[in-house]
Amino acid sequence: MTKYIFVTGGVTSSLGKGIISASLAKLLQARGYRVTIQKFDPYINIDPGTLNPYEHGECYVTEDGAETDLDLGHYERFLNTPTSKANNITTGRIYQNVINREREGAFLGKTVQVVPHITDEIKRNMRILGETGDYDIVITEIGGTVGDIESLPFVEAVRQFKWEAGPGNALVIHLTLIPFLAAAGELKTKPTQHSVKMLLEYGIQPDILVCRTEHHINMDIRKKIALFCNVNINAVVESMDASTIYDVPLLMLKEKLDQTVLTKLKLSHKNEPNLDNWKDFLGRLKNPTSEVRIGLVGKYVELPDAYKSIIESFIHAGAKNECKVKVQYIPSEQLTPENAVEKLRGLHGVLVAPGFGERGFEGKIEAIRYVRENNIPFFGICLGMQCSVVEFGRNVLGLKGASSTEMHPDTPHPVIDMMEDQKNVVNKGGTMRLGSYPCDLKKGSKAALAYGKTHITERHRHRFEFNNQYLKDYEAAGLTPSGINPENGLVEVVELKNHPFFVGAQFHPELKSTVANPHPLFINFVAASLAYARKN
C-alpha cells in the first residue's frame, strides 16, 4: 500500500518546501524506496505556461509535454526520475475538471460545492500517482502558505485524506520559520506556534515540524516548540540555511528526518541510505580546481529563477569538470553594436537563453556576432539557437533584413518561421510544441561526440523553427544542421565548423540535467569554455 506525505508551509512563502520535499525524497530513495513528488499550486491558471517568468520563475516542461512549476525541476534533478503532468496540479485544473463534469451532467442535479466536489477532485489527483503501483511513497507539496484563501480547499482535502487513509498511512510535515531578532539577540518561536494553531483550526495536526532558521535551535527551543505544537521532540527538525541546495539532503539526514518519517509511516529503516555518489558530487562541487566566467544573455536576468534549470545545469557540468562556473547575467536589451565588446569582454563562454517576444532580440544577435567572430565558445538554447541562425543569415550569408517571423512578420528573409502545425492555433496555453521528441545527430558532429550516440530525445517548448528553404545556403556557408527530427525534418541542432564550440539547440537540454546525469552539451560547453580560459 502506498504511503502519503504532505508538505505544507507557514509564516511566509519561499521557505523552500520544494527543496525539503526533494531532499526527503532523495533520502528515502537512497534507502531503496520508490518515491515521487507532486506539487499542488493554488493559483487559478491551468498551468504556468502563460505566466511571465517574472511572476513565477521558469516554466518547467516534462517528458509528456506538461508545462509545470519550477519545483518539478528540483524533483527531477534530485531523484533523477522523470515527472509527468500528474505531478503538477493547479486550482485552475481542479475547477476546470469539476466544471466540465458538471456540464456533462455527472453530478445528477446536485448543487456543486467546494466540499465535497472540489475537495474530492483534489483527493482524486492526490491518489493518481499512488494508484499506478510504481511508488511506495508519494510526497505532495502544497503550494502557498497555510492561511491563504487560495490554499483552503487543498488544506481541507489533506485533512480528509489523512483521516480516510488512517494512522500510519499519511503524515503532514509543516515547514515553518524561526526568525532571529537581532535587537533581542534571540530566536522567536511565536510565528511557528501561530502557524501550527492555524493548521489546527483547519483540523490538521502536523506530525513533523521542519524549522527554517539562520541560527542553530537548541534543546530548550525544541522542547518549547514540541510542547506548544503537540509534536514529539524528535519531530522538531532544524533546517539551517545552506551554502548550496545540494547540502540539504545531508543536513536532513543529520536531523534524522527520514528515520522519523519512516517510523511514523511504519516502514523499515534498516537500510542505511546510500549517498556515495551524492557525496562525490558535493566534493567536486565544493573543491573546484579552476574557474570559468560564462555570460548568460537573456531578457529576464533580473530574476535568476527565470533561468533556474540553466543555472543548475551549470552547477552539474561545473562539478563534472571540477571547475566553478561563475555566471554573469547580461540583460539582452542593453546590448548594442556599440557596447557589445565592452559588455562581453573577459568572458570565457556565452549562453544565449530561451525566451519569447521582440524585447532583447537584437541584443542577443549582437552577442552571438561577437562570440562567432572572436571564436569564444557559444551555446544557444531555443530562441538562442534561432538568434544564431538570424545572425549568420545577416552577417555571413548577406541576407539583408533576415529575421524570425515571430519578431518581424514582414521580414524579406524569414530564416525562422512558424511551424506549419502552429499556424492555426488560437489558444495560447499548452498549445506549443511541447515535451519529448526524437532527434538524429550527424556522425562526427560536436553534438554527436558530446552525447556519444546519434539518436537522442529532448524536450521542446516553441512555435517557431528553422526555415528549411534556406538549409542548403546555410550548410554551404558552414553553419551545419547537425541534428534533425526524423519525423518532420525539423532542424534541432546547428553548429559552426572551424569554431571551438558553437552549438545552437532548438530543444531545452537544461530540463534533463540532473545531479546523477549532468547534460552532455553543458559538460562540453563548460569544458570548451575552460579550454578557452586557459588559452587566454
DSSP-derived secondary structure for 6-29: EEEE-SSS-S-HHHHHHHHHHHHH
What residue numbers does the annotated binding site for CTP cover? 13, 148-150, 188-193, 224
- Lookup result for grid cell 491558471: 45
Same-domain status, 314 and 435 = yes
Counted domains in the chain: 2
Kindly give the pairing relationship between strand 170-177 and strand 3-9.
parallel
| Rounded-to-integer distance, Cα 292 and Cα 282, Å | 18
Describe the strand order of the beta sheet including 414-418 as a list of residue ranges. 403-404, 414-418, 464-466
Orientation angle between helical segments 71-79 and 308-320, nearest 10 degrees? 20
Cell of 404: 524570425
Catalytic residue of the set 67, 391, 458, 510: 510
Same-domain status, 263 and 118 = yes
Cell of 153: 480547499
- Residues 6 or more apart in contact with residue 470 via CB below 8 angstroms: 393, 397, 399, 413, 415
Identify whether the C-beta of residue 305 lies closer than 8 Å to the C-beta of residue 311: no
Same-domain status, 262 and 305 = no
Q: Among 258, 279, 300, where does a domain finish?
A: 279
Q: Residue 151 phi/psi, 5° resolution? A: -90, -5
Orientation angle between helical segments 276-286 and 308-320, nearest 10 degrees? 90
Q: Among 279, 313, 341, where does a domain finish?
A: 279
- C-beta atoms surrounding 329 within 10 Å: 16
Residue from 28, 4, 8 nearest 126 by CA? 4
Identify whether the C-beta of residue 84 lies closer than 8 Å to the C-beta of residue 65: no
Same-domain status, 120 and 176 = yes
Identify whether the C-beta of residue 74 lies closer than 8 Å to the C-beta of residue 18: yes
Residue ranges in 52-207 assigned as alpha helix (H): 53-56, 71-79, 91-103, 119-128, 152-165, 190-201
Model pLDDT, residue 527: 96
Active site residue 272: no
Residue from 48, 32, 17 nearest 176 by CA? 17
Model pLDDT, residue 431: 66
| Rounded-to-integer distance, Cα 289 and Cα 284, Å | 9
SS3 letters across 263-290: HHCCCCCCCCCCCHHHHHHHHHHHCCCE
Catalytic residue of the set 382, 391, 413, 458: 382
Give, for all 536 residues of the chain, the pLDDT tens digit: 899 999 999 888 878 899 999 999 999 999 999 999 999 999 898 887 777 776 768 889 999 999 898 889 999 999 999 999 999 999 999 999 999 999 999 988 899 999 999 999 999 999 999 999 999 999 999 998 999 999 999 999 999 999 999 999 999 999 999 999 989 889 999 999 999 999 999 999 999 999 999 999 999 999 999 999 999 999 999 999 899 999 999 999 999 999 999 999 999 988 899 999 999 999 999 999 999 999 999 888 888 788 999 999 999 999 999 999 999 999 988 888 888 888 888 999 999 999 888 888 889 999 999 999 999 999 999 999 999 999 999 999 999 999 999 888 999 999 988 877 667 766 666 667 889 999 999 999 999 999 999 999 999 998 889 989 999 999 999 999 999 999 989 999 999 988 999 999 999 999 999 999 999 999 999 999 999 999 88
Model pLDDT, residue 8: 96
Active site residue 508: yes
Same-domain status, 270 and 304 = no
Same-domain status, 342 and 266 = no
Same-domain status, 211 and 177 = yes
Cell of 58: 521558469
- Residues 6 or more apart in contact with residue 183 via CB below 8 angstroms: none
What residue numbers does the annotated binding site for L-glutamine cover? 54, 355, 383-386, 406, 463
Model pLDDT, residue 444: 92
Same-domain status, 113 and 18 = yes
Active site residue 382: yes
| Rounded-to-integer distance, Cα 226 and Cα 430, Å | 45
Range of the domain at 414: 288-535
Same-domain status, 200 and 328 = no
CA 71 to centroid of chain Cα atoms: 5
Assign residue 44 the CATH number of its domain: 3.40.50.300
SS3 category, 77: helix
What residue numbers does the annotated binding site for UTP cover? 13, 188-193, 224
Same-domain status, 395 and 465 = yes
DSSP 8-state secondary structure symbol assigned to residue 51? S
| Rounded-to-integer distance, Cα 263 and Cα 171, Å | 11
Q: Among 238, 259, 279, where does a domain finish?
A: 279
Same-domain status, 358 and 493 = yes
Model pLDDT, residue 488: 87
Identify whether the C-beta of residue 459 lies closer than 8 Å to the C-beta of residue 63: yes
Identify whether the C-beta of residue 361 lies closer than 8 Å to the C-beta of residue 306: no
Per residue in 405-440, pLDDT tens?
Answer: 988 899 999 998 887 766 776 666 666 788 999 999
Same-domain status, 34 and 52 = yes
Catalytic residue of the set 460, 462, 508, 519: 508
β-sheet bridge partners, residue 35: 137
pTM: 0.93
Identify whether the C-beta of residue 141 lies closer than 8 Å to the C-beta of residue 21: yes
- Residues 6 or more apart in contact with residue 167 via CB below 8 angstroms: none
Identify whether the C-beta of residue 196 lies closer than 8 Å to the C-beta of residue 160: no
Assign residue 476 the CATH number of its domain: 3.40.50.880
What residue numbers does the annotated binding site for Mg(2+) cover? 71, 141
Helix and strand tally (H, E) in the chain? Answer: 18, 23
